[in-house]
Amino acid sequence: MDRRVTKKGDDASGKERPTLKTLAFMTGLGVTTVSRALKDAPEIGAETRRRVQLVAKQIGYRPNRAGVRLRTGKTNVISLVLNTEHELMSFVSDIIYGVTEVIADTPYHLIVTPYSRSQDPLDPVRYLVETGSADGVIISRTQPNDPRARYMLEHGVPFATHGRTDMGLVHPYHDFDNYAFAGEAVRALAAKGRSRLALVTPPVGLTYFRYTVNGFADALSEVGASEVPFNTVSIDHTIEQIRMRTAQLMRRDDRPDGIVSSAAAATLAVVAGIEDAGLKLGRDVDVVSKQSSEVLHLFRRELLVVNEDFRLAGYELARAVLGWIAGKEPGSLQSLSKPSEVLPYRG
């Protein structure tokens, strides 16, 4: 059964969605001419061009995506690949808004491609590339040696990563300067007289784990503070795990008097753990935490925060992918965002 109820043919009857054929009929031109006129091809007369574009605007012509895609292979789709277990809530929401802000006045659509714990992170990317489902891909949870980035480079698919890689390969990325963040955090704690510091790290294996750990370590020796190892958790752990292990840590004699936390959700658990151990934030221990929305100062005024803007990340990542698709040099599409100062609660 055909899906259309009425034939279109050459009549200009009202209801059907206009196609190039409709425009060709209305203007008395050929389909080819109309197609070229709409994309400002040079061999079309100036008047004809204007006329076609006027009519097209009037009747609200929009190119059929399936037609374009079938003929050219261009999907006009950007895919955001997300881990359904380990992404931060605020990350998902904000990065999507950042991306959509950029593609709002382009023909691009955003599709969300999920993968779960059990899957190889390469799976969704392979799917996208094999089926040609997207013109560009955005991935997060980037690793120093990232198979997904390597795969897409090999297959010539434009992409951008949230976080850098370290494979000697050039590609667009946006990253938050976690080395600077950890350093600033340590210095802020040192300025408060704290000298025995622990770090709640990003997930081991991701690139920004290294940057964070290095920034932390370098600043420690710079200010002459020492590290209290806290390797049993990362921000990928559950609230309960972090809370419990923080409480354990804080009950030890050699407990830290300062903690640096890489994510707001983890910080909630850390503070709960501190209080479980009967200690008081700001008196017995200070905590510096990253956050992506202004919640931590409502939570505890004593917290010191550094802001990371995920909407900006989405914005930059989308611009980077689109830039690559448009032919710009991948190496010119890399950006690093500097952390804010370490901010205390302000009235």
Partner DNA sequence: TTGGCAATCTGTAACGTTTCAGTATACTGA
Partner DNA sequence: TCAGTATACTGAAACGTTACAGATTGCCAA
Judged by the rule CB under 7 A, the positions of this chain that interact with DNA are 1-2, 4, 8, 16-17, 19-21, 28-33, 35-36, 38-39, 43-46, 48, 63-64, 66-68, 70-72
DSSP 331: G
Nearer to a copy of itself, 24 or 82 (CB): 82
Could you tell me the smallest distance in angstroms from the CB atom of residue 189 to a copy of itself?
A: 22
- β-sheet bridge partners, residue 287: 259
Cβ of residue 146: shortest distance to a copy of itself, in angstroms? 22
Among 245, 263, 268, smallest CA distance to 255 is for 245
State the minimum distance, in angstroms, from the CB of residue 325 to DNA: 15
How many whole angstroms separate alpha carbon 214 and alpha carbon 285? 22
**Which one of DNA, a copy of itself, none is in contact with 133 (Cβ closer than 5 to 8 A by kind)?**
a copy of itself
Which of DNA, a copy of itself, none is residue 177 near (CB under 5 to 8 Å by kind)? none
130 binds, among a copy of itself, DNA, none (CB under 5 to 8 A by kind): a copy of itself
Nearest distance, CB of residue 162 and a copy of itself, angstroms: 15
The secondary structure element, H or E, covering residue 297 is helix 296-299
**Nearest one of 138, 126, 132 to 102, comparing CA atoms:** 138
Q: What strand order describes the sheet that includes 226-227?
A: 226-227, 196-200, 258-261, 286-291, 304-307
Binding site for a copy of itself (CB under 8 A): 3, 17, 60, 62, 64-67, 69-70, 72-73, 75, 77, 82, 84, 87, 89-90, 92-94, 96-97, 100-101, 104, 109-114, 130-133, 239, 243, 265, 268-269, 271-272, 293-295, 298-299
Tell me the C-alpha to C-alpha distance, in Å, between residue 227 and each of 63, 116, 188, 241, 256. 60, 34, 15, 21, 8
- Which CB sits closer to a copy of itself, 133 or 337? 133
Residue 87 contacts which entry, a copy of itself, DNA, none (Cβ below 5-8 A, type-dependent): a copy of itself
Least separation in angstroms between residue 242's CB and a copy of itself is: 10
Query: Residue 229: how many CB atoms within 10 A of its CB?
Result: 10
Nearer to a copy of itself, 131 or 231 (CB): 131
Which residues make Cβ contacts (< 8 Å) with residue 29, sequence separation at least 6? Answer: 23, 37, 48, 52
**Chosen from DNA, a copy of itself, none, partner binding at 139 (C-beta under 5 to 8 Å by type):** none
Instruction: Please choose, from the candidates 184, 163, 149, 178, the residue with its C-alpha nearest in 3D space to the C-alpha of residue 313.
Output: 163
User: Mapping DSSP to helix (H, G, I), strand (E, B) and coil, where does residue 285 land?
Assistant: strand
- Provide the minimum distance between the beta carbon of 56 and DNA in the complex, in angstroms, as a whole number: 10
CB of 45 or CB of 114, closer to a copy of itself: 114
Strand positions, DSSP E, the chain: 77-83, 109-115, 136-139, 159-162, 173-176, 196-200, 226-227, 258-261, 286-291, 304-307, 334-337
Nearest approach, Cβ of residue 106 and a copy of itself (Å) = 13
**Structural contact between residues 68 and 286, judged by C-beta atoms closer than 8 angstroms:** no
From the list DNA, a copy of itself, none, pick the one residue 132 interacts with, judged by a Cβ distance below 5 to 8 Å according to partner type: a copy of itself
In the structure encoding, which two tokens stand for residue 52, read together? 């076609």
Query: Measured from the CB of residue 48, what is the shortest distance to DNA in angstroms?
Result: 3
| Closer residue to a copy of itself (CB): 73 or 327 | 73
What residue 112 binds from DNA, a copy of itself, none (CB within 5 to 8 A, per partner kind)? a copy of itself
Binding partner selected for residue 50 from a copy of itself, DNA, none, CB under the kind-specific 5 to 8 Å limit:
none
